[in-house]
Structure 1
Amino acid sequence: MDRLTTLMERFQLSVSPASAGEANLLALGEQGKATCLVFFPRGEAQPVGDKQILLSVKVDWVAGHNPLMAALPLSVHFDLTENAETRDLVQLMLAESAGRRCGAQSVVNRLGEVLMVRLLRGQIEAGATESGLLAGLADPRLSRAIVALHDHPGRVWSNGDLAAEAGLSQSRFSELFASEVGETPMGYLRRWRLTLAHQDLARGDRVEAVARRYAYVSPEGFTRAFRKAYGVAPVSLRGR
């Protein structure tokens, strides 16, 4: 089961070099060797102590609507001293940046995407102390249901269907989902559908087609839900 691929595909990830004042992902270290990563999902980097900033990049992963980005803490720390593969990846990015050879910019961008996947994977595997999507994905039972919702948002889901995906009784599933994710399964499904609908409308899809795609009974019902979530009618967003 892949807990990240659908999110990676629906929310385009961009990583590009930036000054330390504009970056939100820093590689820190000593004597040219990276020892940790610090990521600030909400915006620009904050003071990080006396360690040397070896690499600074700007990560854009549609933070305003990406549920995983919204679930991350204010700062994410990733220890490189115990992860040789990721440390080597950072060192390769440093070498490409310093060498300024042909195509170096593209290499740094692609390696930065891989670096973010590893960082996010580490956060999911480590779990979360607060409720949210990160905590849900960290739970092996809930994550099966959440991935099913992410992969098939247009299916007419019930709590019973999702409980079966998780391998739990319906009552236990609903209780655990609300405790870990912070909302009901149907509430999360509605938000996920509207997030995807926002993307589809912005690229020019018709309101009626989007409503059908995400299992709304009528375009009028979809319009009411969309207006409540975003404060505007879906037709006003179409093709923007």
Structure 2
Amino acid sequence: MTDSLSELLKDIDLSADVFFTGGLCGLQGAERLEMASHLHFLKSGAMTVLSPTDELSLTAPCVIFIPDGGEHRLRIDGPDDAELVCATITFNAWQKARLVEILPRYVTVDASQEASLAGTIHHLFVEAFGKGEGRGLIINRLTDIFMVQLMRYVLDQGIISATDLAASSHNVLGPLMAELKARPADNWTVEQMAEKAAMSRSKFAALFKDIVGKAPMDYLTDIRIGKAQTLLRNNRPVALVANEVGYDDSSSLNRAFKKRLGTTPKQWLKSLLGKEG
């Protein structure tokens, strides 16, 4: 039986470095990391993660992974110190960029509710707050293991797809797919994509289908539809949305929606608003 997650992760070069274990109080800062991500394990207490744009409150036991390594502060809430293990997770530059593309701003896990992760977290806390010889090395190795489990968790929960994870770890397709997501309105062709990948059209198309599981233009359509849905939720007119995601007019967007979702943009939005209401 093929272990698809191992196949996907074997090419991701990550290393964990635990730089703090112990109790915190008050307000503590964490600087921006260019080549790494932040990972915090909250053993006890409560805290709020503060960034320049948002904040997130957490209670123990839980874990928060911050893929972009962005600057933030930890505000310890309540009268007691919070017990924490803090680590940096280093990737190579393009792998981090791809993970930032596909993962949400924060990945949080309630350790009390996720049995698949609880064992590793428990052992990590035992080592972090113990005094055994070799604890530093063990903590780093446990954190490596936890990161693999965390990626399995985000796959199982549907936070990301195996397709996106596979592409994010591919040195040819990863950068290209990031470009497609950044500029879906461009007049892309398979020939242009192949040129970006420095491959022949036929080899590129075969590689893309093998790694991603669908043809390049089908993947681009999915990106365009996804962006269109976001814009429609923000009350953008259908005609303008069509132009912003790469279609000549609203009729073209209607056809793409009907083919993918079985409904028109306006019908889809009406159904969505009805469910939310």
Q: Give the TM bin, normalised by the shorter chain.
A: 0.5 to 0.7
Alpha-carbon distance in 1 for matches of 2:107, 2:212: 28
CA distance in 1, matches of 2:116, 2:242: 36
Specify whether residues 223 and 135 from structure 1 end up closer, same or farther in structure 2 by C-alpha distance, changes over 3 A only: same
Check if 1:20 corresponds to 2:112: yes
- Taking a change above 3 Å as real, the CA distance of residues 20 and 231 of structure 1, as seen in their structure-2 partners, is farther
Question: 2:80 maps to which residue?
Answer: none
Whose strand proportion is higher, 1 or 2?
Answer: 2
CA 1:188/1:17 → structure 2, altered by over 3 Å: closer, same or farther?
A: closer
How far did residue 200 of structure 1 move? 1.4
Q: Find the aligned partners of 2:164 and 2:110 in 1 and give their Cα distance.
A: 29
Q: In the alignment, which residue of structure 2 is the partner of 1:191? A: 222
Structure 2 length as normaliser, TM-score? Answer: 0.49
Distance in 1 separating the partners of 2:107 and 2:166: 25
Further displaced range: 157-166 or 219-228 = 219-228
**Change in CA separation of 1:222 and 1:24 when aligned onto 2, cut-off 3 Å:** farther
Q: What is residue 84 of structure 2 aligned with on the other side? A: none
Pair 1:178 & 2:203 matched: no
Give the alignment of 1:86-235 within 5 angstroms: 132-235=163-266
- Answering whether residue 132 of structure 2 is matched by residue 32 of structure 1, we say no
Q: Quickly say closer, same or farther: Cα 1:235–1:141, change in 2 above 3 A.
A: same
Stretches of structure 1 that go unaligned for 5 or more consecutive residues are: 45-62, 72-131
Structure with bigger helix share is 1
TM-fit CA distance, 1:135: 2.4
Map Cα deviations across residues 166-220 of structure 1 (whole Å, 9 max, x no partner).
Answer: 1111111111111111111111101111111111111222111111111112201
Evaluate the alpha carbon distance shift between residue 178 and residue 28 of structure 1 in structure 2; reply closer, same or farther with a 3 A threshold: same
The runs of 4+ residues in structure 1 deviating greater than 4 Å are 14-17, 22-27
Question: 1:25 deviation in Å?
Answer: 5.7
Task: Let me know the Cα RMSD of the aligned residues.
Answer: 2.8
**For residues 144 and 21 of structure 1, what CA distance do their matches in structure 2 show?**
35
Query: Secondary structure of 1:140's partner?
Result: coil
Q: Residues 102 and 164 of structure 2 are in contact (CA less than 8 Å); yes or no, is this contact kept in structure 1? A: no
